[in-house]
Chains A and B, each alone.
Chain A
């Protein structure tokens, strides 16, 4: 009996061991290091010098613009993604002919096979002076600037993160029992009230998963603002790169990183709360 339990525990330990070790080495330890850095001081030659001070946190407003851009563009980007993704997912899950479904889903995923960097560069050219603005000037619209604007960043965000939003919504709609829709119609609900009262509510876990996924990734986004936003639309991610690699102010960078993690956690918890409350689902399937 006792040996049995020991064996059982040993098996569990062996199964969980690698993942735990991975998490400790690559997540927990770096996180602790960052947390320690964040209360330290910048060494005169750059990097970290031991200290205990909250000065770095007090200094956060110095990067207010980056925070502001991120806090505004991340939710707006996630929302824009959602608005584009929901109809696509709805069509794929509920309307598309069965034999087309897999092909269409593959088309959604295929762009992922190319690096985001290359795809974003492509957008740089499309939006840049010799792209769409050049076309527009042919038909008489001179001096239209697209690249290096918040709009371009938003476009890049929607383009880059769309599949991450479509897939979870598609899964939740695909799982939806079609008879519930018939039951709703049978009970006198018009197609619109069926959508609002049944389809949308039951797909909310998928919506929230997609939303928090995109939102969290956007909080750390660095590439798209750099390429499509020029130096003008600065995200927290850009601030971090700058602080760690250029000005070598590790403690300040760490303080920003810790704040970012806290914000992400709050977003996750809030999204989870909302979706369980509204859809009444017992499941917690965040990502």
Chain B
């Protein structure tokens, strides 16, 4: 017997007039998990979160919280709390009254002493002890974020919902908050459901990532699975950086397919679904799976166009005749002298792993995306 899931979606569909925002979602979130709903804007992730919070009602299907069907239960009777995008703190209340807001709603009423002590504890938890009497507008973005967290956690919800909580913070603060959120989740041990369009954020914080596109769940798995074994072309492209090369299936050898690329090069690739001889496919090559060398006799030869120095590693945009621009990542532990310069010819080989081949699907815009990607780096 497995434990009752904290959150469960059964066949949930949400329509707004003629537009279907979410269609046929089935999802079970185990207790005490940190789950990220990841996807581009308009993929339905926020709608899912709002259906858990009770701000939207599913058009079809059911949402369960700890085994309870939530149909018809208004937000104020649900055992979940939300950290809103841009926090939605009450401007007319000070920090402590914001945090105590939920406690004041409890019936039977809590004693004012209990309210004060629990609000104090919550503020301490987010390292804002002593800020109780500050006005909201006197706080920095990071501090407001913490107040929003304390305000949501003070009610001891079964599940904490986070709607793009870090989007408004600068990069340094965002990294700090990622660690802090992760620690907080382990400390309290309740389920966190995070909505984000930032794949780095999803991969770095959560135990499970649920990748969504076009109102559906495309893949559900641990961050490493999502990154290493993307279910389809969309996930491969959306999560992390990758090179997508189009080609056709030239043959099969065991579990692998042989793909003939535009320049005639044939490479072996793993596949997700059965592929027909001659079928158009996209091959995904992660930048870090490519190795660069002056002498290496790799499948590709090209000329370095741009070098993006990243400290411990460097990325290269390499123009390969007949294929386009490839992005390759090389760590240079061997010494900075090994950096390639723009204009230098290089040979590209495979350092690790086997590339993945996906059947070309229409309307996912994958090719366009690659073009855009190339535009940005070149």
Chain A residues within 8 Å of B, Cβ to Cβ: 177, 179-180, 182-190, 193, 197-198, 201-202, 278-282
Select which of B80, B84, B91, B105 is within 8 A of A189 by beta carbon. B105
Select which of A183, A202, A278 is within 8 A of B84 by beta carbon. A183
In the complex, what's the smallest C-beta–C-beta distance from B340 to chain A, in angstroms?
Answer: 50
In the complex, what's the smallest C-beta–C-beta distance from B92 to chain A, in angstroms?
Answer: 4
In the complex, what's the smallest C-beta–C-beta distance from B237 to chain A, in angstroms?
Answer: 32
Q: 22 A-B Cβ contacts within 8 A?
A: A179-B85, A180-B90, A180-B91, A182-B82, A182-B84, A185-B55, A186-B53, A186-B54, A186-B55, A186-B75, A186-B80, A186-B84, A187-B76, A187-B81, A187-B102, A187-B152, A188-B106, A189-B101, A189-B105, A190-B105, A278-B92, A280-B135
Contact B106 A183 (CB under 8 A): no
Select which of B88, B92, B135, B155 is within 8 A of A183 by beta carbon. B88
In the complex, what's the smallest C-beta–C-beta distance from B107 to chain A, in angstroms?
Answer: 9
B67 touches A (CB below 8 Å): no
Chain B residues bordering chain A, tally (CB within 8 A): 28
- Chain B contacts for A202, CB-based, 8 A: 91-92
In the complex, what's the smallest C-beta–C-beta distance from B86 to chain A, in angstroms?
Answer: 7
Give the docked Cα–Cα distance between A187 and B100 (Å): 10
Contacts A202-B92, A280-B92, A280-B135 given; indicate if A188 touches B86 (C-beta within 8 A): no
Closest to A177 in B: B88
Chain A proximity mask over B98-141: 1 for CB below 8 Å, otherwise 0: 00011001100000000000000000000000000001010000
Contacts A193-B105, A280-B135 given; indicate if A186 touches B90 (C-beta within 8 A): no
- Chain A contacts for B55, CB-based, 8 A: 182, 185-186
- Chain A contacts for B365, CB-based, 8 A: none
Closest to B50 in A: A182
- Chain B contacts for A190, CB-based, 8 A: 76, 105
Contact A185 B75 (CB under 8 A): yes
Contact B84 A179 (CB under 8 A): yes
Closest to B148 in A: A183
Select which of A179, A182, A188, A279 is within 8 A of B92 by beta carbon. A279
Q: Is the interface of A mostly helix, strand, loop or mixed?
A: helix
19 more CB-based (< 8 A) A-B contacts, given A186-B54, A190-B105: A179-B85, A179-B86, A180-B90, A180-B91, A182-B55, A182-B88, A183-B88, A183-B90, A184-B101, A186-B80, A187-B81, A187-B105, A187-B155, A188-B76, A202-B91, A280-B91, A280-B93, A280-B135, A282-B137
Select which of A185, A198, A201 is within 8 A of B74 by beta carbon. A185
Closest to A282 in B: B137
Contact A188 B90 (CB under 8 A): no
B45 touches A (CB below 8 Å): no
In the complex, what's the smallest C-beta–C-beta distance from B108 to chain A, in angstroms?
Answer: 13
Closest 10 CB pairs of A and B: A187-B102, A188-B105, A179-B88, A280-B92, A185-B75, A183-B88, A189-B105, A185-B76, A186-B82, A188-B76
- Chain A contacts for B105, CB-based, 8 A: 187-190, 193
In the complex, what's the smallest C-beta–C-beta distance from A250 to chain B, in angstroms?
Answer: 48
Contact B91 A186 (CB under 8 A): no
B151 touches A (CB below 8 Å): yes
In the complex, what's the smallest C-beta–C-beta distance from B193 to chain A, in angstroms?
Answer: 13
In the complex, what's the smallest C-beta–C-beta distance from B234 to chain A, in angstroms?
Answer: 30
Best-surrounded residue of A185, A186, A198 (most CB of chain B within 10 A): A186
Closest to B94 in A: A280
Give the docked Cα–Cα distance between A182 and B80 (Å): 13
Select which of A180, A193, A282 is within 8 A of B88 by beta carbon. A180
Give the docked Cα–Cα distance between A179 and B106 (Å): 21
Give the docked Cα–Cα distance between A173 and B117 (Å): 34
